A = this chain, B = another copy of it.
């Protein structure tokens, strides 16, 4: 909350989104779209509820987040990114790319995980690597949530929820899932780490190769 007091674009940016949790809140809104307060709380394991409320107010004042009051019947307010907030996507992508090597060591014992976090690496790793005929529907099961990779005509998207009639379903811990998706890990090694699946692995190969 305290300004650096430096007339520099980087310092001014950090004055706004440099505080703890701020960029992770933006991550949630980027990955999941408009969210209720409770959705954010669930997507940000470890945050204190008063801090989330504080940060949302600050980000609102800074023009990064907007509060969308739901119409009277539904009664649940939504938080969403403003256009200005969406422009942080390039920052998050670069930061995430820089952080990828830190994932290779595997999750720490206490690390939390949410399946929708896979959207960034999946769409990052597989973007533009996909062949023209690479249609595939792959469901990922990391334990709690399920998410689905949809690929068709050169686009890869990850959406929440299970798949109807998937080509492949992968079950495993986040480390093994990320390992095979990024090709850092072979299917053999991943299986020894507990990965198992139903369906045709070729569906994943179609995405990873090219």
Contact = CB atoms under 8 A, between A and B. Distances in A.
A7 B120 contact: no
A199 interface: no
Tell me how many chains of this kind the complex includes.
2
Contact of A87 (B6, B12, B98, B112): B98
B24 A14 contact: yes
Contact of A121 (B5, B9, B11, B120): B9
Given A6-B45, A112-B5, A112-B7, A12 B91 contact: no
A111 B7 CA distance: 6
Main secondary structure of the interface of A (DSSP, over half): helix
Interface string A117-156: 1001100000000000000000000000000000000000
A146 to B, nearest CB: 17
A86 to B, nearest CB: 11
Nearest to A88: B98
Interface of A: 3-16, 18, 20, 23-24, 27, 45-46, 87-88, 90-92, 94-100, 102-103, 107-108, 110-114, 117, 120-121, 174-175
